[in-house]
Chain A
Amino acid sequence: GQQLNQSPQSMFIQEGEDVSMNCTSSSIFNTWLWYKQDPGEGPVLLIALYKAGELTSNGRLTAQFGITRKDSFLNISASIPSDVGIYFCAGGLYNNNDMRFGAGTRLTVKP
C-alpha cells in the first residue's frame, strides 16, 4: 500500500522563526492535503493541493505539490504560539476520498 514518510517527527522553535516540514511517498498521489490537529480535537484542513507543481498559500502557511506527485512541503512563516500542534500530510486519489496520512510533525513554539 501507499506509505507516506513525514519529516521531521518533531520541531522546537522560537516564536517568530519560519518552519518547514515535508512529506514523501513511494507512490503517486493526485491530491496532497495538510491538516493540523490540536490536543483532544480532530484534524482541521489547512491547505489542499490538486495539481502537480501547485503552490498555495493560506495566511502564513504555504504548501507545494511536488512535480513528481510523490512529495509535498508545508512552510509556516513567522511562527506564533498558537501554531503549536501536530501537522499531518495526507495523499489522496481521484477515484474515491480515501486519504493516506503521514505520521505527523509535532511543532512546539517557545514564546
Chain B
Amino acid sequence: EAGVAQSPRYKIIEKRQSVAFWCNPISGHATLYWYQQILGQGPKLLIQFQNNGVVDDSQLPKDRFSAERLKGVDSTLKIQPAKLEDSAVYLCASSLSLGTGETQYFGPGTRLLVL
C-alpha cells in the first residue's frame, strides 16, 4: 500500500513570496491533516479535513495560510505571503476517519526555508 505522498520535498523562497504544497493521502483515507514542525519542536496541527470539509482550522494563521481539499482526496496548503518564521517542515497525514483509535500516517514532509 502506498503511503502519504508530498511534494515538493524541499522549497526555498524569499520572504513575501507565495508557496504551495501538495499532499496525496493514502487511498481510502477520509481524514487529512496538515502539521507545521519547526526545528526542534513537535508537529503542530494547522488544519484537518474530513472528506472535503474542514473539521478544525483553529490553529491556521488564516491571514496568510489557506488549504483546500476540493474533491476529498488530494490537498494543497498555501502560504501567501511567506514570512521568515514560516521556515519549517510541513507534514501531511491521513487516517481512515476521525476519532480516537484511528492511526495517523505521516508523509515525509516538505522542508520550507524562507530567506
| Contact surface of A with B, Cβ cutoff 8 Å | 4, 6, 30-31, 40-45, 48, 50, 88, 90, 92-94, 96-99, 101-104
Contacts and interface: CB of A to CB of B under 8 A. Distances in A.
B7 to A, nearest CB: 14
A101 B33 CA distance: 14
A45 B103 contact: yes
Contacts of B31: 97
B95 A97 contact: yes
13 contacts: A31-B101, A41-B109, A42-B106, A48-B103, A50-B101, A88-B42, A90-B42, A93-B100, A97-B48, A97-B104, A101-B43, A103-B40, A103-B41
Dominant SS at the A interface? loop
Dominant SS at the B interface? loop
Interface residues of B, number: 27
A99 B101 CA distance: 12
Given A97-B98, A97-B104, 6 more contacts: A4-B42, A31-B100, A41-B106, A42-B93, A96-B98, A97-B48
A98 B56 contact: yes
B42 A102 contact: yes
B48 A96 contact: yes
A97 B108 contact: no
